[in-house]
A = this chain, B = another copy of it.
């Protein structure tokens, strides 16, 4: 059996840290091309390069039937009318689903069917689960005023494909309108 250190992890919702995991950090400069308002992006970047999010992954084992999991912590803020967001990705193994569960803060996920472009905005909050089916690009946005913390659980062999969504971006954007997150077609901006 695995060693006890690989069986048990503790999350710190204040920092997003997981015992036994090292964290990947993404700053504003890493998200070039993600935000629709490029003037607002350039202006924000000229003023500094803040940390937007970090993801700490745990990979206890990598065989068939195994699972990996990660804690994301996404800071609050906006670039123009768009909320701070993650890059978003598809799974390299397209059939792999992902289970998300909110721990703290308030956000939404943008889901986009790779084949049809069909898009959904779904809430990600404490005690809420979001099921991301296979073949579905997914991106997380912090729509609140405090850090958004969440868990993702996925098949060990899922892998991450960032390239497709970086090249064409998501078809829809989530912007603040009348004080709340609103899903719009990018072309309609």
Contacts and interface: CB of A to CB of B under 8 A. Distances in A.
Interface of A: 1-2, 4, 6-13, 18, 58, 60-61, 63-67, 69, 91, 93-99, 101, 103, 111, 113, 116, 118, 120, 122-123, 127-134, 136, 151, 153-156, 158
25 contacts: A1-B133, A4-B120, A6-B131, A7-B120, A7-B122, A7-B130, A7-B133, A8-B122, A8-B130, A8-B131, A9-B128, A9-B131, A10-B129, A11-B129, A60-B97, A60-B133, A61-B133, A65-B93, A67-B97, A67-B98, A67-B99, A67-B154, A67-B155, A69-B129, A97-B156
A131 B12 contact: no
A93 B66 CA distance: 12
